[in-house]
C-alpha cells in the first residue's frame, strides 16, 4: 500500500510540475501568435489524446518523466506558406526569449502559490530551542547555552528548526564568522543577544550535512520516559523478549532515567550482549539483549534494536503556529521562493567547485520517496515539498546548458547581441555537449538513488 501511495504521489507531483512548466511555454507562445502543434505531459506511448478548436493536440503519455510543447517551426519540418507567420522561428528574438523563459517562470510562480496557500493554512513547527551542547564544540566555544532560542542566523529570521538548518546551509565550504541572534526562551521579554561562531571549511564535502549537529547543538526535546511503545517484528528487541509497555529500569546495572539516555546506550553497544531490567505488569524482569549494527551515511556504526517509544506529548509552548493573512502570506511566499532559488544556485556552484558533494544530487527514486513521505505528513508538508521541487526545476532549467531552456535563452541572447543567430553547426555542437552533460548528471543522480536504497 505504501509503495502504491509513493508511486501515485510521485506521478501527481511530477505531472503537476511538468504541466505548469509546459503551460508557461504554451500560454506565452499562444499570446505571441505561435501555432502550438502538441502539448504533451509525459513521453512515450500516448494514453489519452484530444484536440482543441485551434487544432492543438493534447497528450498524456505513458512515461511521466517530463513533457514538451511542440510548436510550428521551419527548422523541424516543412511549413505551408500561409502559416509561416505562425512559426516559432519567424518571430522576433524577444518573443522567442519570452516563450522560452515562460516555463521556468511558471515554476517559480507555482512555488509562490504553493507556499502562499501553505502559510494561509498555517503550519505547526518546533521552536528552535537549544538542548544539550557538546563539550568543546563550536557552539560551546562561542557561548551558546542550553535553553536559548535561535531567533536569527546572519540576519535571517529563524521561526523553526527548518529555518535554522536552511540558514546554516548557505555558508557550506566557507571559512568565516556566523552571527547568531539568541534569546532566553524561558524569558520572552529578555532582549536578544548575539554570538559569533567561527567556521572553517564549513561542512566541506559532507554527503548528508547536518549543520545543527555540526555546531554541537542538540535540539531541545521533552523528557520522555523509557517505555517501549512499538516493537519491530524479528528485530533485536523482539528476539530479546521486550514487549510494548515495558519500562526500562536499568542496563548492565546502570539506571536508565529516560528514553534519550536509553537510545544513546543502545547506539554505543552494537553487537554487545546486554543485561536489561524492565518493569512489566508491576514486576521486574531481566532480559538479555544484543543490539544490531547499522552504518550511517558518514560511516559511523551504531547499535539499534527495532523499538520505538510510547506516545508522548510535546509542550505547547515549544510548538509555534506560523500563519499569515493573504497579503502577508504572499510576501513571505515570494521571499522564501527567492531565498530557495539563490540557495540552490549557490549550492550548484559549490558542487561544481567541489565544496558540496555530488552525492547530494537526487534522482526520481529519492523524489518519489520524498513525495510519498510529504503526502503522508499532510497538506502543508506536501505544499512545501512541491514548492522546493518547483524551484529546483525552475533553477535547473535556467542554467545556460544547451538542451535546457537556459541553453536556448543563451542562443537567443547571443542572437540579440550579434543581430543574427549562431550557425546551425555551432548550435548542434552545443546541443551534443549539453545532452552529454545532462545524461551524465542523470546517471550520477540515479546512482545516488540506488546507493541510498
pLDDT at residue 76, as a whole number: 80
Residue 150: which pLDDT band, with cuts at 50, 70 and 90? very high
pLDDT at residue 173, as a whole number: 83
Does 370 score more than 70 pLDDT?
no
pLDDT at residue 188, as a whole number: 76
CATH class of residue range 228-311: mainly beta
The DSSP element (H or E) to which 444 belongs, if any, is helix 424-452
pLDDT at residue 428, as a whole number: 82
CA quadruple 363, 364, 365, 368: dihedral sign: positive
Q: What angle do CA 113, 118, 119 make, to 5 degrees?
A: 100
CA distances from 224 to 71, 289, 302, 431 (A): 61, 21, 21, 58
Cβ atoms of residues 318 and 126 within 8 Å: yes
* % the chain with pLDDT above 90: 38
CA distances from 303 to 153, 223, 226, 238 (A): 34, 22, 17, 15
Cβ atoms of residues 195 and 159 within 8 Å: no
Mean pLDDT score, 34-62: 90
Cβ atoms of residues 150 and 180 within 8 Å: yes
Does 182 score more than 90 pLDDT?
yes
What's the CA gap between 37 and 26, in Å, rounded? 10
Tens of pLDDT, residue by residue over 269-313, are 988 999 999 999 989 999 999 998 887 655 678 888 999 888 888
Tell which wins on pLDDT, 162 or 3.
Answer: 162
Domain with CATH 2.30.42.10 in the chain: 123-221+313-322, 228-311
pLDDT at residue 298, as a whole number: 57
Tell me which range, 114-123, 222-231, 252-261, 360-369, is most confidently predicted by mean pLDDT.
114-123
The contacts of residue 281 (CB under 8 Å, 6+ apart) are: none
CA of residue 320 relative to chain centroid, distance: 21
Mean pLDDT score, 198-206: 82
pLDDT at residue 446, as a whole number: 65
Q: Which segment of 123-137, 305-319, 368-382 scores lowest on mean pLDDT? A: 368-382
pLDDT at residue 82, as a whole number: 85
Tell which wins on pLDDT, 368 or 4.
Answer: 4
Does 165 score more than 60 pLDDT?
yes
pLDDT at residue 75, as a whole number: 83
Q: Which segment of 170-174, 428-432, 441-445 scores lowest on mean pLDDT? A: 441-445
Spell 253-286 as b/e; 16+ CB within 10 A means b. Answer: eeebebbbbbbebbeebbeeebebbbeeeeeeee
123-221+313-322 under CATH 3.30.930.10, yes or no: no
The alpha-carbon radius of gyration of the chain (Å, integer) is: 27
Does 152 score more than 80 pLDDT?
yes
Tell which wins on pLDDT, 137 or 355.
Answer: 137
Mean pLDDT score, 227-247: 90
Residue 8: which pLDDT band, with cuts at 50, 70 and 90? confident
Spell 67-78 as b/e; 16+ CB within 10 A means b. Answer: bbbebbeeeeee
Tens of pLDDT, residue by residue over 420-429, are 888 888 888 8
Does 418 score more than 90 pLDDT?
no
Does 71 score more than 90 pLDDT?
yes
From the list 43, 45, 41, 39, the residue with the least C-alpha distance to 12 is: 41
Does 23 score more than 60 pLDDT?
yes
Q: Which segment of 16-20, 29-33, 373-377 scores lowest on mean pLDDT? A: 373-377
pLDDT at residue 453, as a whole number: 54
pLDDT at residue 108, as a whole number: 96
Q: Which residues pair with 182 in a beta bridge?
A: 150, 193
Cβ-based neighbour number of residue 364 at 10 Å: 16
From the list 236, 441, 274, 256, the residue with the least C-alpha distance to 358 is: 441
Does 371 score more than 80 pLDDT?
no
Q: Which segment of 144-148, 366-370, 412-416 scores lowest on mean pLDDT? A: 366-370
Determine the 3-state secondary structure of 234 from DSSP.
coil
Q: Which residues pair with 40 in a beta bridge?
A: 59, 68
Does 6 score more than 80 pLDDT?
no
pLDDT at residue 409, as a whole number: 92
Determine the 3-state secondary structure of 148 from DSSP.
strand
Mean pLDDT score, 100-127: 94
What's the mean per-residue pLDDT of the chain? 86
CA of residue 51 relative to chain centroid, distance: 37
Does 43 score more than 90 pLDDT?
no
Q: What pTM, to 2 d.p., does this model score?
A: 0.80
What's the CA gap between 115 and 27, in Å, rounded? 23
Q: Say whether 22 is catalytic.
A: yes
pLDDT at residue 451, as a whole number: 65
Does 450 score more than 70 pLDDT?
no
Q: Is 337 exposed, middle or buried (0-12, 13-18, 19+ CB in 10 A)?
A: buried
Mean pLDDT score, 351-379: 61
Q: Is 134 left (phi over 0), alpha (psi -120 to 50) or beta?
A: beta
Structure-block grid coordinates of residue 231? 516493537
Mean pLDDT score, 332-360: 81
Tell me which range, 109-113, 197-201, 405-409, is most confidently predicted by mean pLDDT.
109-113
φ/ψ (deg, to 5) at 177: -105, 140
Q: Where are the beta strands (DSSP E) in 228-291?
A: 228-231, 247-251, 254-255, 274-280, 283-289
Structure-block grid coordinates of residue 8? 501515485
Amino acid at each position: 500500500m505504501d509503495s502504491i501511495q509513493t508511486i501515485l504521489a510521485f506521478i501527481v507531483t511530477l505531472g503537476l510540475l511538468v504541466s505548469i512548466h509546459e503551460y508557461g511555454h504554451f500560454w506565452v507562445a499562444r499570446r505571441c501568435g505561435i501555432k502550438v502543434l502538441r502539448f504533451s505531459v509525459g513521453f512515450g506511448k500516448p494514453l489519452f489524446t484530444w484536440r482543441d478548436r485551434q487544432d492543438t493536440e493534447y497528450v498524456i503519455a505513458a512515461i511521466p518523466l517530463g513533457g514538451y510543447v511542440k510548436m510550428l517551426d521551419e527548422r523541424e519540418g516543412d511549413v505551408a506558406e500561409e502559416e509561416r507567420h505562425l512559426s516559432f522561428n519567424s518571430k522576433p528574438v524577444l518573443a522567442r526569449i519570452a516563450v522560452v523563459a515562460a516555463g521556468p517562470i511558471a515554476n517559480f510562480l507555482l512555488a509562490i502559490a504553493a507556499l502562499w496557500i501553505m502559510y494561509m493554512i498555517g503550519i505547526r513547527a518546533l521552536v528552535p530551542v537549544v538542548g544539550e551542547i557538546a563539550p568543546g564544540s563550536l557552539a560551546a566555544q562561542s557561548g551558546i547555552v542550553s535553553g536559548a532560542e535561535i531567533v536569527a542566523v546572519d540576519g535571517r529570521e529563524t521561526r523553526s528548526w527548518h529555518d535554522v538548518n536552511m540558514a546554516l546551509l548557505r555558508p557550506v565550504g566557507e571559512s568565516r564568522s556566523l552571527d547568531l541572534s539568541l534569546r532566553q526562551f524561558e524569558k520572552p521579554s529578555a532582549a536578544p543577544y548575539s554570538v559569533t561562531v567561527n567556521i572553517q571549511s564549513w561542512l566541506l564535502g559532507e554527503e548528508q550535512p547536518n549543520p545543527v549537529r555540526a555546531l554541537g547543538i542538540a535540539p531541545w526535546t521533552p523528557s520522555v520516559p523509557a517505555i517501549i511503545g512499538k516493537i519491530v517484528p524479528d528485530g533485536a528487541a523482539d528476539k530479546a523478549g521486550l514487549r510494548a509497555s515495558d519500562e526500562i529500569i536499568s542496563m548492565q546495572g546502570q539506571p536508565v532515567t529516560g528514553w534519550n539516555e536509553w537510545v544513546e546506550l543502545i547506539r554505543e553497544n552494537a553487537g554487545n550482549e546486554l543485561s536489561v531490567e524492565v518493569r512489566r505488569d508491576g514486576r521486574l524482569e531481566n532480559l538479555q539483549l544484543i543490539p544490531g549494527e547499522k552504518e550511517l551515511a558518514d560511516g559511523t556504526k551504531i547499535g539499534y534494536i527495532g523499538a520505538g517509544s510510547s506516545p508522548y506529548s510535546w509542550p505547547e509552548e515549544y510548538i509555534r503556529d506560523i500563519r499569515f493573512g493573504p497579503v502577508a502570506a504572499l510576501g513571505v511566499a515570494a521571499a522564501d521562493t527567492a531565498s530557495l532559488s539563490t540557495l540552490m544556485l549557490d549550492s550548484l556552484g559549490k558542487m561544481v567547485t567541489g565544496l558540496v558533494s555530488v552525492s547530494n544530487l537526487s534522482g526520481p527514486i529519492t523524489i518519489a520517496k520524498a513525495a510519498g513521505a510529504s503526502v503522508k505528513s499532510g497538506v502543508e508538508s506536501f505544499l512545501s515539498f512541491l514548492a522546493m521541487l518547483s524551484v529546483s526545476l525552475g533553477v535547473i532549467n535556467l542554467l545556460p546548458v544547451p538542451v535546457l531552456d537556459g541553453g536556448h535563452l543563451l542562443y537567443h541572447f547571443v542572437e540579440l547581441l550579434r543581430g543574427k543567430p549562431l550557425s546551425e553547426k555551432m548550435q548542434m555542437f552545443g546541443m551534443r555537449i549539453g545532452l552529454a552533460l545532462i545524461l551524465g548528471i542523470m546517471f550520477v543522480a540515479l546512482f545516488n538513488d540506488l546507493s541510498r536504497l
